[in-house]
Amino acid sequence: MKLQVNILNPFVIAAGEVLSSELGVNIKRGQLRLHRETHISEDITVLISLVGDVWGVVMISLSFETAKAIISRMLGEEVVDFNELAQSGISELGNVISGLAITKLAAAGYHGDISVPTLIVGKGSKISTFDIARIIVPLDTDVGTVSLTLAVKLTPKKTTKASSWQMG
Amino acid sequence: MNVKFLNPFVEAAYMVLESEVGLKAERGEISLNRSAYTADDITVLISLVGQVKGVVLYSMSEATAISIVSAILDQQFEEFDDLAQSGIGELGNVITGQAGQRLASAGIESQISPPTMIIGKGTMVSTLDFQRIVVPLDTDFGPLQIHLALREEGV
């Protein structure tokens, strides 16, 4: 698979910008990794799907500790439990990152839309994106690592939905 | 939460299960849930974007998934391997695609995302402020559930 850096970079840049502005610190990007095996979930995963010219799934994974520290700083008050407010805040963070990335993609000529976020809580589950390979981008903050997982590709030429059934 | 999304998904599931799996499904009692869903062994997650937006989940036990995939591919599976996972993901994709076409015929346009699969019982899946309608389907291979956390845009 040829990596399409032009559709990946907007997500990496958006995540860096949003985290940096919410946390008020510089974000250091770690080593990118290409991952084909099934993804094993962290404590918290925000999952957002993409439809349009760019197609796939974006996941933002982090530990409870990192999530609580981020939310505490965003709200300006100590969040002790990963409660409903914190869940909503972390999901919104994923939404803002993906939304900004979509805006950057549109500026580059790729038009698409993002789904509502789904929040997956529980370490150790397998999350499969099937035939879409994943790029993992670790973003180091002063309160721990936020991993951005990108399973995105350019949309293949239109086929009718019914004909996508190729099993059997 | 609008019940008009319900029938297209139930009809699509009946049709696809019958044509692809040779399986008759019977709908059990529908419930409305506000709290997070605690995952069964296998959950297929597909998002809808457009005039209807939200998330659809298909959940089942591993045993049910293996029976379904064995029937689709006409080959006995012993474990829920990559091919089996792909078959169940595709089943969710086809049901959602069919439901999307039914919604489009009713004037509600949407695009469906690629499927994602969550494997691991007990994980919590939250659709946040979207309520979930849970539709249990009984089949000879065991129960399946369809969860609809959908909302019509701009209404």
Q: What is the pLDDT of residues B49-86, one digit of tens each?
A: 999 999 999 999 999 999 999 999 999 999 999 999 99
Q: Are A125 and B119 an interchain contact pair (Cβ–Cβ within 8 Å)?
A: yes
E strand spans, chain B: 26-27, 31-33, 37-38, 42-50, 52-60, 110-112, 116-119, 124-126, 132-138, 144-152
Please name the CATH architecture into which domain A5-155 falls.
3-Layer(aba) Sandwich (3.40)
Q: What is the mean pLDDT of residues A117-135?
A: 93
Helix (H, G, I), strand (E, B) or coil at B136: strand
- Look at residue A3 in the predicted model and tell me its pLDDT: 62
Domain boundaries, chain B: 3-152
Q: Are B49 and A114 an interchain contact pair (Cβ–Cβ within 8 Å)?
A: yes
Work out the burial of residue A140: count CB atoms within 10 Å of its CB; fewer than 13 is exposed, 13-18 middle, 19 or more buried.
middle
Interface check A2 vs B, CB under 8 A: no
Quickly state the pLDDT bin for B1 (edges 50, 70, 90).
low
What is the rounded distance in angstroms from the CA atom of residue B119 to the CA atom of residue B126? 15
Interface check B98 vs A, CB under 8 A: yes
Work out the burial of residue B32: count CB atoms within 10 Å of its CB; fewer than 13 is exposed, 13-18 middle, 19 or more buried.
exposed
* Residue A37, pLDDT above cutoff 60: yes
Work out the burial of residue A132: count CB atoms within 10 Å of its CB; fewer than 13 is exposed, 13-18 middle, 19 or more buried.
middle
Q: What is the pLDDT of residues A53-103, one digit of tens each?
A: 999 999 999 999 999 999 999 999 999 999 999 999 999 999 999 999 999
| CB atoms near residue A47 (< 10 Å) | 27
Closest Cα to residue A119, out of A94, A85, A98? A94
The domain made up of B3-152 is a member of CATH 3.30.499.10:
no
Q: Any residues with CB less than 8 A from the CB of B88 and at least 6 apart, and which?
A: B42, B44, B60, B65, B68, B69, B117
Q: Are A116 and B130 an interchain contact pair (Cβ–Cβ within 8 Å)?
A: yes
Place of tokens 């974006």: A58
Interface check A88 vs B, CB under 8 A: yes
* Residue B121, pLDDT above cutoff 50: yes
* Contact by Cβ (8 Å): A119, A108: no
- Look at residue A155 in the predicted model and tell me its pLDDT: 84
Q: Are B45 and A114 an interchain contact pair (Cβ–Cβ within 8 Å)?
A: no
What number is the ipTM of this complex? 0.92
Q: Are A127 and B117 an interchain contact pair (Cβ–Cβ within 8 Å)?
A: yes
* Count of residues in chain B: 155
- Look at residue A164 in the predicted model and tell me its pLDDT: 43
**CA of B112, closest CA in chain A: separation in Å?**
7
* Residue A159, pLDDT above cutoff 50: no
- Look at residue A51 in the predicted model and tell me its pLDDT: 96
Q: What is the mean pLDDT of residues B88-98?
A: 97
Helix (H, G, I), strand (E, B) or coil at A139: strand
| Beta-bridge mates of residue A138 | A147
Q: Are B125 and A164 an interchain contact pair (Cβ–Cβ within 8 Å)?
A: no
Sort out which chain A residues have CB atoms less than 8 A from B72's CB and list them: 167-168
Q: Are A167 and B20 an interchain contact pair (Cβ–Cβ within 8 Å)?
A: yes
* Contact by Cβ (8 Å): A61, A25: no
* Residue B94, pLDDT above cutoff 90: yes
**CA of B81, closest CA in chain A: separation in Å?**
11
Closest Cα to residue B57, out of B20, B29, B92? B92
- Look at residue A2 in the predicted model and tell me its pLDDT: 57
Percent of chain A with pLDDT over 90: 80
**CA of B115, closest CA in chain A: separation in Å?**
7
